[in-house]
Structure 1
């Protein structure tokens, strides 16, 4: 029998961290070896399983990092990412970076760390989102020179508590589409007032914050006389937790490098 993957969850007391703990505990391919939180977290000492709404897993939430693990899954905040990267480098633990809203400097840190560690980083861990990104690339590449031109608009919906806008996933959709359309693409965030006629070389972004929506993205490709809309949405957060666990499985025995969910899905 194959040994289970020893996984440490950083941000274990958060909404996403709890779902990672819950799903990992139900999967025989995983063994939870650490549930990590910041030193001021009020849930320190609580059993990570009970905190996640499942039976106890005998792993208390702690601020100390483990000396060993086969992978760390990080669902936390951008302010914690520097420490996550440093601790993974120090302990030589592969990393699934699922935290969104990273700065350009932090993305550079990930690339540097990937010279010595295998790392999966993506703005979304959802398998469906990443497959839709691939479809969006194909649509853009096929229709970029369509007679009359093609307009691209990206609409994203998230819960009222989300701190960044537009979402990292929406921005990644735009980056991938722009790569197919050319170097002169402008990224426009919302519109107001007398904006004039829409430019042919722009991608528009629109962020909606409502209720408890866990995430929905619609990519509109508008042409003269017809349109294509790609829509992908989550009904709960488990798709992100499940995708992160799939990425952790991908990292097992992997060589150092910075991998994407396209790599995890075999879409590269």
Structure 2
């Protein structure tokens, strides 16, 4: 089964690499370089444009838009709204990463405002962030999740009911739902939590995968599977060293991971939800 799923995931990856989509990132200052290098390693083309004077033009030229609220300020929010409107007009995917939502009212309110004023294709965060945006019980600390790592699927399903858009909740087991199907990804490596920006890069990679498929949930699942396999490959090289080596090896793995890596290592499970939420 995993061999078959791996073949499907690699097909999406191969199509993304062939397309070399331009991904417009309005992201936080902590992760800009790592995100750009990660997208390049995977096969996409990054652009990082925060200025409100060019945000709409850049989004109109891009194949996907990724909004990340990790280091918010009012000018950046204005840029996000302008870029979001341009992206919606063009009809390209828009991914929201509500970094640190729940830690402060400003972050939570901004994430909700973006959801209200922009047609968001998918939201991705850890359990605490997603719960905060969806109005569920949560305990976010800084930009880290304070929620149980085992409850990602439950959080994703409940958040979908509240938000009515595809949700990705990352943790020990990643979960994705579009209200009809639930995907669970068991790949990844514990050292990802020791490198800042690993989740932010993931959100941008999801954006790149959504440029080549109309199935948002499966596109996200494919990106998560690919990223998780790359992390495992990187962890094998970095286990005796540390996070610095892991970060470099993750970029290398994103570049090198291919068909057989995914077929052999992917652990992706799909289930239909008992009820759908329209």
State which structure, 1 or 2, has the greater radius of gyration over its C-alpha atoms.
Answer: 1
TM-score category, normalised to shorter length: 0.3 to 0.5
Higher percent of residues as strand: 1
More helix by share: 2
TM-score, structure 2 length as denominator?
Answer: 0.42
